[in-house]
Structure 1
Amino acid sequence: MSVTRSSSKLFAVNVANAGIGFLAVTVFARELGPAGIGAFFLFQALFRVLESGIDLGLNTAIEKRLSEGSSRETMLGSGIVLKFVGFLGVTVLVLAFRGPVNSYVGEPVAGLLILTVGASQLATIATTTLRGELRVGETAVLFLANQVVYALLGVVFVLGFDTGPVGLVYGVIAGSLVSFLWGVTKLDTRPARPSVVSVRSLLSYTKYNVIPALGVQVHNWTDVLIIGLILTQADVGSYEVAWRVAAITLLFPNALGVSLLPQASALSARGDRERVGRLISNALFPAVALVIPAVFGTLVFAESILGILFGPEYAAAALVLIVLVAGKVPEAVQVVVGRVLLGIDRPDLVARATVVAAVLNVGLNVVLIPRYGLVGAAVATTLAFTVGMVQRSWYLRTEVAYRLPVANVLRVTAVSAVMGGVLVGVQSVVAVTDVLGLVGVVLVGVTTFATGVLVVPSLRALAFDYARTYRRG
């Protein structure tokens, strides 16, 4: 399946996932309040950090080695064994610190934390194997099933049985198990007895990729973990709700990045760096084309988005939302560039950039959160990601020749600015006070942006070319 086809398929399902997840978070945030949803977000932060302690770059290593096409069964079996060893270590760690874990989250969740990590690792094995088989698009339905089960069971437990944040954890565990069981039925590769050679091959890749893998979690959860230590669970809830809204803008860049790694890996294994260069050149503009208009839309309606959808107590995080959405522009570029670097077997370069960005992220959060609160956390994360993007882009330039789509980025920025002006005009005439009104202004923004793209010849040509490529598959 081509990068265009698979990334578009993932994007379509990611839109559905985002819609389901957004609706679920809206319901849960209103039902539980900032403190209750904040406790769940702290649980998620711990869960993801522990997962990264098992992964240590292993997921990408398995995907990379499977995509190369040799000894797939043995490679998968070796990867599973390494994951199991990591899971045992995490289990011992959580049991040893179950008291502090429960106290930090504010709920008795230590045992559930172990179950959640285990279930998620099973689901990850299925999706990683499919990616390694160059069947990225087929992972889409697994993500959708996971999200649907989580959302439905979360509603049942939280609204039906009044379980509080713990009910959302039950949904997460069940979603992962469904994703795993469904994924297993799709796999062509079955695990075989591990070998020393395969284990060494995986570890040789993870020794550099471990840092990028940890870096993702540092970026995603450092701010939340530090907010939880310095501020309150309610602050965690408000900040993470803003983060979840901002994350919607990365749906397509993430789908594109997932599709790029196995394709870049296969091309690089054949020594075709020229086609890798064309791959990245063609991917950079689509990665940011939908993020930039989101920045302008958020500038106008950030307070309305949070206040109307989640409740008036969340509207105070409007500036946080604006900063986080602006930070998704460099993050979108970093997602694409970083995945290509991993695909061409240069995790060492990604590791160097990750160390710099991670240290900067932690340091800035520690300095800025006590002084500026949630806005400080957003600024720290955005600055760290911008530095990481610049460094990764420079490293990729030393490996592969590619073009930056500067002219088209400027054009789409101009179109987005016009859209923002239209939205300001709408806001001055119409008071947006409910969900229907918010949907209406979003449709006005989308229509204005789409019209602007069609008016500009180069952007129109790119849009039509992408649509034709998708239909060809």
Structure 2
Amino acid sequence: MSAGEADFGLEISRGVLAKFAMAAIGFAGSIVFARVLGPSGYGAFYIVVTLVNVLDNPVTGWGSACKKRISETGFPIAEALGSGLLGAVILPLGMLPAVYLIVIFTDLYALSGLFVPFSVLFSAVCFFAVTNRILSARSNFAAAEWSDTLRSFFTTPLQLVFILLGFEAAGMVYGLTIATALSIPYVLYRIHIRPVLPTRESLASITSYARYSIPNGFISTTQSRFDILLLGALLTSSAVGEYQVSMQLTLAGTFIGAVASKGLMARVSDYWSRNEHDAVINDVTNSLGYASVLAIPIFFGVAAMPNDLLVTVFGSQYAGGGLVLVGLALFRVVKMQSSQLQSTMAGLNRPDITMRIGLVVLILNVGLGYALLLEYGVFGVVVATILSEVIRYATLSYTIKQHLPAVTLFAKPLRQQLLAGVTMFILIDWLHMTNGVSWWGELLVLIGLGGITYFATLIVISKSFRLTVKGVVSDALAG
């Protein structure tokens, strides 16, 4: 079954459930690890993970090209899978020696003591990333999220064991590596296709897309993780640790948008290849309408009590990062919108446009980030990231309108979510100012009241939200 034939709402709901399960497991672990390792050790682990995520882009970009071809009518899926696995073997063999030389001669990010953990994680992630991208092109694309959830299920206890054994930051890397390796067989099982060696024609077709998807991946990942790269290079791993806990507190805002964007690319590609333009417009408009439905309440909730959230959850050593937390929550809202537009452009077979826009945004982010870091510290880097993402969204919006004029960018559901968010903020800000937060119980009550207020308001004012919830629940019960 192709991606276009899948029940999009049902697959998104399954994927979001996987995201919540994964977040619950990972968040519980992050609280323990952030407190035990402190900002420095916790930051060192995320520097390694960030470098892996940036440097594996030749492999993940190749996997994205395989995913694109799978989503097209008539392309041999077994050959696409074979191509992906081939890239996951060959490309790391060429990259790791180059990374080793860089580490020896520069000791950039103080990786000399973490090169072995970095190498094994890099190799495992390459296989996982390629196969999981291919899985997300199938009609059951929510299974790609559940594979990540399975990985999280393994990761947290394994990391805890390694930390108890005294491995510290390296132990967290080893735990993630083993968890990643254990999850790959599940991904291959869910793809449910035996790979075959690709023909020259298939490789040429994949390569023609990969010449854009690989640099696109580098640009996108570097831009999205530039804050950590810059903070790790110019400040300390402690600054990275303080930044990362704010990223984790706002992570739930990405769940619906991230799942939708993964499936959207394949569906747009499938419909576009069959000249079903009305179906493309409908899917893109709906995705934009609901991509930020979780990011919006998180932003307004964070804005009402930023410092109390950080200190209560992660401890007093992370105090003072309230502005960073609010800025990152706002970034999540904008990012979820632009991610739908990026997936749409990829599905329209125009990765070249996304690459050019991404390159401009990256250059802007690097220049602004460096200048504002020197002036305002960590918060300056966050401001640069927000401004860069706003520019990405604006340029992608203009481009999408040239290809799909009927797409509604600022649809009524999105406006209603903002109204519900403002309503929630007024209530939570008043309660917080009146009573404050002194322990976990009070924080959980405020979070619960905020969530109830936001979604109750949406149910009252938004007919489309009521219909969407009803349809997803019906499909889930029927499925």
- Which TM-score bucket, shorter chain as reference? over 0.9
Deviations, residues 171-200 of structure 1 (Å, cap 9, x unaligned): 110111111022222232222123221111
Deviation at 1:267, TM superposition (A): 0.8
Deviations, residues 30-69 of structure 1 (Å, cap 9, x unaligned): 00000111111111121111111433x2121111111224
Separation in structure 2 between the aligned mates of residue 186 and residue 455 of structure 1, nearest angstrom: 40
Q: Which residue of 1 aligns with 2:470?
A: 464
- Whether contact under 8 Å (1:40, 1:105) holds in the other structure is no
Separation in structure 2 between the aligned mates of residue 280 and residue 471 of structure 1, nearest angstrom: 25
- Whether contact under 8 Å (1:211, 1:354) holds in the other structure is no
Separation in structure 1 between the aligned mates of residue 105 and residue 424 of structure 2, nearest angstrom: 49
Q: Which residue of 1 aligns with 2:17?
A: 12
Q: Which residue of 2 aligns with 1:121?
A: 126
Q: In the superposition, relative to structure 1, how do residues 102 and 176 fare at CA in structure 2: closer, same or farther (>3 Å)?
A: farther
Separation in structure 2 between the aligned mates of residue 133 and residue 461 of structure 1, nearest angstrom: 26
Separation in structure 1 between the aligned mates of residue 123 and residue 108 of structure 2, nearest angstrom: 22
Residue from 405, 414, 432 that aligns with 1:409: 414
Deviation at 1:470, TM superposition (A): 5.0
Deviation at 1:323, TM superposition (A): 0.6
Deviations, residues 131-182 of structure 1 (Å, cap 9, x unaligned): 2333202223211111111111111111x21211111011110111111022
- Whether contact under 8 Å (1:124, 1:180) holds in the other structure is no
Describe how 1:108-187 pairs up with structure 2 within 5 A.
108-158=113-163, 160-187=164-191
Q: Secondary structure at the match of 2:407?
A: coil
Q: Which residue of 2 aligns with 1:277?
A: 281
- Whether contact under 8 Å (2:39, 2:237) holds in the other structure is yes
Residues 119-128 or 454-463, more deviating = 454-463
Residue from 386, 392, 404 that aligns with 2:390: 386
Residue from 345, 356, 361 that aligns with 2:360: 356
Separation in structure 1 between the aligned mates of residue 429 and residue 36 of structure 2, nearest angstrom: 32
Deviations, residues 236-269 of structure 1 (Å, cap 9, x unaligned): 1101211222232111100111111111111111
Residue from 427, 440, 459 that aligns with 1:422: 427
Q: In the superposition, relative to structure 1, how do residues 194 and 465 fare at CA in structure 2: closer, same or farther (>3 Å)?
A: closer
Q: Which residue of 1 aligns with 2:71?
A: 67
Q: Which residue of 2 aligns with 1:34?
A: 39
Q: In the superposition, relative to structure 1, how do residues 340 and 472 fare at CA in structure 2: closer, same or farther (>3 Å)?
A: farther
Structure 1 gap segments, 5+ residues each: none
Q: Which residue of 1 aligns with 2:341?
A: 337
Q: Secondary structure at the match of 1:441?
A: helix
Q: Which residue of 2 aligns with 1:300?
A: 304
- Whether contact under 8 Å (1:47, 1:117) holds in the other structure is yes
Deviations, residues 324-380 of structure 1 (Å, cap 9, x unaligned): 111112101111111121112111121121111111111111111111111011111
1:235 lines up with 2:239 in the alignment: yes
Letter in 2 for 1:399: H
Separation in structure 2 between the aligned mates of residue 293 and residue 72 of structure 1, nearest angstrom: 40
1:196 lines up with 2:200 in the alignment: yes
Q: Which residue of 1 aligns with 2:324?
A: 320
Deviations, residues 414-457 of structure 1 (Å, cap 9, x unaligned): 22111111112211332312222211110010111122112214
Residues 334-343 or 93-102, more deviating = 93-102
Query: Which TM-score applies when normalising by structure 2?
Result: 0.94
CA RMSD, 1 decimal: 1.8
Identical aligned pairs, as a percentage? 24
Separation in structure 2 between the aligned mates of residue 5 and residue 446 of structure 1, nearest angstrom: 23
Separation in structure 2 between the aligned mates of residue 219 and residue 248 of structure 1, nearest angstrom: 20
Separation in structure 2 between the aligned mates of residue 107 and residue 352 of structure 1, nearest angstrom: 34
Q: Secondary structure at the match of 1:189?
A: coil
Separation in structure 1 between the aligned mates of residue 182 and residue 322 of structure 2, nearest angstrom: 36
Q: Secondary structure at the match of 1:261?
A: helix
- Whether contact under 8 Å (2:213, 2:351) holds in the other structure is yes
Letter in 2 for 1:244: Q
Deviation at 1:103, TM superposition (A): 6.1
Separation in structure 2 between the aligned mates of residue 162 and residue 50 of structure 1, nearest angstrom: 28
Q: In the superposition, relative to structure 1, how do residues 392 and 470 fare at CA in structure 2: closer, same or farther (>3 Å)?
A: farther
Separation in structure 2 between the aligned mates of residue 176 and residue 410 of structure 1, nearest angstrom: 39
Deviation at 1:472, TM superposition (A): 5.5
Query: Which TM-score applies when normalising by structure 1?
Result: 0.95
- Whether contact under 8 Å (1:102, 1:110) holds in the other structure is no
Residues 341-350 or 26-35, more deviating = 341-350
Q: Secondary structure at the match of 1:428?
A: helix
Letter in 1 for 2:79: T
Residues 248-257 or 283-292, more deviating = 283-292
Q: Which residue of 2 aligns with 1:261?
A: 265
Letter in 2 for 1:245: L
1:215 lines up with 2:243 in the alignment: no
Q: In the superposition, relative to structure 1, how do residues 170 and 10 fare at CA in structure 2: closer, same or farther (>3 Å)?
A: same
Q: Which residue of 2 aligns with 1:434?
A: 439
Q: Which residue of 1 aligns with 2:3?
A: none
Superposition misfits of 4+ residues, deviation over 6 angstroms: none
